[in-house]
Amino acid sequence: MSGTRTHSRRAGGLAVVAASALLLSGCGNAEPAAAPPAQPEPLLLSGPTTHVMVAIPTGWHQVINSANPVIPQMVAPTTCMGDNEVSCALGLVRTATTTAPTIEEAAKAVEDAVTGEPGITKGATLNQGPAKIGKRDGYRHRFTFTNPTANLTAEVAAVPSGPTTPNPDGTLEYSIVLAWVSDKPDAPKPDVIDQIVDSTLVYGGQPPHE
């Protein structure tokens, strides 16, 4: 495998209350304040064979995965595109749906694919274990690795997205979010990984837990 309305709403609500008070006191020319403008819906990274979507943050954009076009992919910065999108990316996210015996094995298979590439050296585990993926119960593993030009912080997040009954071979369906950011100047900060993973929307599988 190898993206301030509370104050506006409160202000708008207070304006409507004030206008109502004026009407009750006989100042019938008062007009309710206009509703605050709606915020645009975030763009979503998605694909036809992947049962998970994540928000595309500002400064990122979806691009064709030149190695495997069916795997949804987004990168930062937005000037990075074309067949060399991985080499010019300062941050990268991919999503996929796969099967594995356990959620941990699904995540490890992706991690091994990343760290097994030529020139890649696996670093330290920062944290791992059961965690929320969006509103679903899933598994997250954050770790570091290096390539010839940078140090990177990465995370593999896995979540069940298929039937709860195992396949004939004993596997279950899991959807994966892989995200990494470089330590190069102008690269996204590592906390964008949390923003992306927390935005995960899963369709299929077990219902979310609030």
Q: Which residues contact 84 (CB under 8 A, 6 or more apart)?
A: 66
pLDDT value for 20: 26
Give start and end residues of each alpha helix (H) in the chain.
Answer: 5-24, 85-88, 103-115, 191-198
Taking only the tens place, the pLDDT of each residue in 92-135 is 999 999 999 999 999 999 999 999 999 999 999 999 999 999 88
- Residues 33/16, Cβ–Cβ less than 8 Å: yes
**Containing H/E element for 130?**
strand 121-133
pLDDT tens track for 56-99: 999 999 999 888 899 999 999 999 988 888 889 999 999 999 99
The more confidently predicted of residues 205 and 160 is 160
CB atoms within 10 A of CB 77: 16
From the list 187, 188, 173, 178, the residue with the least C-alpha distance to 67 is 178
- What number is the average pLDDT over the span 3-18? 35
Q: Over the stretch 11-39, which tens digit does the pLDDT of each residue have? A: 333 232 222 222 222 333 334 445 555 55
Tell me: the pLDDT tens digits for 137-183? 999 999 999 999 999 999 999 999 999 899 999 999 999 999 999 99
Place of tokens 């910065």: 77
Q: What is the pLDDT of residue 203?
A: 81
d(CA 141, CA 2): 16
User: Residue 96 half-sphere exposure, CB side, CA atoms within 13 Å?
Assistant: 19
Query: How far apart are the C-alpha atoms of 65 and 77, rounded to whole Å?
Result: 15
Helix (H, G, I), strand (E, B) or coil at 210: coil
Please report the pLDDT score of residue 35 as a whole number: 56
